Amino acid sequence: MGESITITDNRTGETIEIPIDRGGIDARAWGSLLPGIWFDDPSFTATSGADSAITYLDGAKGLLRYRGYPIEQLAGSTSFLEVAHLIVFGELPNRVQLTAWSDEIASEAPIHENFHKRILEGFRDDAHAMGVLVSGIAAMSTFWPDGKDVEDPVCRRTQIIRLIAKMPTLAASAYRRSVGTPYVQPDPDLDYTGNFLSMMFCQRDRPYEVDPVLRDALDLLFVLHADHEQNCSTTAARVVGSAHADPYLTVASAAAALSGPRHGGANEAVVRMLENIGSYDNVDDFIAGVKAGDQKLMGFGHRVYKNYDPRARIVKDTAHRVFEVTGRNPLLDMALKLEEVALADEYFISRNLYPNVDFYSGLIYQSMGFPVEMFTVLFAIGRTPGWLAHWDELLVNESRIARPRQTYSGRPERTVPHTDQR
């Protein structure tokens, strides 16, 4: 045996040696020695819930790789659809594969008119776009019940294409519904991200000119968000998928998890935070409040990265390119000062708190004309291939249903009293 650990049950003196495999130990070996004794790990800080070949992340070194390729190499040299293919199928597509893949995605992009009328029209005018998106994805389950055959790889592939294809259409429709402009169906002559921008912003009476700099920047942001191993939403997808729920309900659960401000909702929260700080001169007071525990510095910190998030560095560079086209976002100076003050402050240094992917992305989205309610929706479009790749991998590996144990802290057994005695 190579590296291993030995556990001794001090009650019986029994020991068991467990091999260390890729940095972990098999909890089933622990279970064979100590049945009924659980690891107490409520937020899974020390638990690996998956054996995955999709994304490699080293938080201490700030490394991120999709299927072995460093994010820095993928960013800027590959399109989102190429990266989606890589993440889902394991390899970057060659030219022929890319054409076929792009055509398959384009052909599945339209959304049935009934879906617009019956599902999207039911929401209040001020409904948050993430609520509409999550509900819309869940509703797809009723439009495509053929997706329920989750054990069939051909069926899974069809649903993966459908979901990646329809997410931008659904997202743009959620936006157009909120502003009361007519829905737009995708244009098969446009690329994935250009098409999304066009569906978002085109006016009926004027052709929409997609700015290549903005399209490339958004496409790059989708690449940066495409997967991030066992984050909260992907874990949600794996847990729900392990019950053999269909892919639409699985992805809706993941998107619901993403909406939280600790996760994908942070990009919206960062911009709201910057607007609340109000002026450059208030930054020091705001940081003092963070250190006093009054609020979090949104867009900072990460469960796994204890170093600069490599995605944040790329987002920051991208922001400058975008601002050359759109004009400088007035919130940028405040964000730069916040980063500078935080990175020099003992509170943030001692806790290894660095900017994460959400710190600068919201500023880019805002400058491109997206309302803040759409920011997490954009994250969801980017993350969809990741959720689906994990869902597919889980089903290929024939995993068992996710079912953790609990440490019970409630009352001991007692007798139900009569209503008059309560």
Catalog residues that contact ligand CMC under the rule CB under 6 A. Answer: 231, 262-264, 266, 290, 296-303, 351, 353, 356-358
Shortest Cβ 310–ligand CMC spacing (Å): 12
Shortest Cβ 342–ligand CMC spacing (Å): 8
Rounded CA-CA distance 421/400 in Å is: 45
Shortest Cβ 9–ligand CMC spacing (Å): 31
State the catalytic residue, choosing from 302, 309, 390, 392: 302
Shorter beta-carbon distance to ligand CMC: residue 332 or 380: 380
Shortest Cβ 264–ligand CMC spacing (Å): 5
Q: Yes or no: say if 214 and 220 are a contact pair by the CB < 8 Å rule.
A: no
The continuous run of DSSP H or E covering 385 comes out as: helix 375-396
Shorter beta-carbon distance to ligand CMC: residue 180 or 293: 293
State the catalytic residue, choosing from 149, 211, 263, 333: 263
Rounded CA-CA distance 279/337 in Å is: 11
Q: Yes or no: say if 118 and 260 are a contact pair by the CB < 8 Å rule.
A: no
Strand order of the sheet with strand 55-58? 55-58, 63-66, 69-70
- If you search the block for the tokens 């020091």, which residue do you land on? 284
Q: Is 63 helix (H, G, I), strand (E, B) or coil?
A: strand
- If you search the block for the tokens 């639409």, which residue do you land on? 248
Shortest Cβ 149–ligand CMC spacing (Å): 31
Task: Give Cα separations from 234 to 64, 117, 242, 392 (angstroms).
Answer: 16, 30, 12, 12
Tell me the pairing of strands 63-66 and 69-70.
antiparallel
Shorter beta-carbon distance to ligand CMC: residue 105 or 258: 258
Shortest Cβ 337–ligand CMC spacing (Å): 16
Q: Yes or no: say if 365 and 375 are a contact pair by the CB < 8 Å rule.
A: yes
- If you search the block for the tokens 């091999």, which residue do you land on? 19
Task: Give ∠ CA 188-192-198 in degrees, rounded to 5.
Answer: 75
Q: Yes or no: say if 375 and 272 are a contact pair by the CB < 8 Å rule.
A: no
The total number of residues written for the chain in this structure: 422
- Closest-approach residue to ligand CMC (CB): 301
Shorter beta-carbon distance to ligand CMC: residue 290 or 395: 290
Shorter beta-carbon distance to ligand CMC: residue 60 or 325: 60
Shorter beta-carbon distance to ligand CMC: residue 242 or 259: 259
What would the DSSP string read from start to end of 118-165? IIGGGS-TT--HHHHHHHHHHHHHHH-GGGG-TT-HHHHHHHHHHHHH
State the catalytic residue, choosing from 227, 358, 390, 392: 358
Q: Is 69 helix (H, G, I), strand (E, B) or coil?
A: strand
Shortest Cβ 303–ligand CMC spacing (Å): 4
Backbone phi, then psi, for 352, in 5-degree steps?
A: 55, 45
Shortest Cβ 14–ligand CMC spacing (Å): 35
Rounded CA-CA distance 72/58 in Å is: 14
Q: Yes or no: say if 311 and 267 are a contact pair by the CB < 8 Å rule.
A: no
Tell me the pairing of strands 4-9 and 69-70.
unpaired
Shorter beta-carbon distance to ligand CMC: residue 120 or 312: 312
Q: Yes or no: say if 121 and 177 are a contact pair by the CB < 8 Å rule.
A: yes
Q: Yes or no: say if 341 and 287 are a contact pair by the CB < 8 Å rule.
A: yes
Is 112 catalytic? The answer is no
Shorter beta-carbon distance to ligand CMC: residue 166 or 302: 302
Q: Catalogue the active-site residues.
A: 263, 302, 358
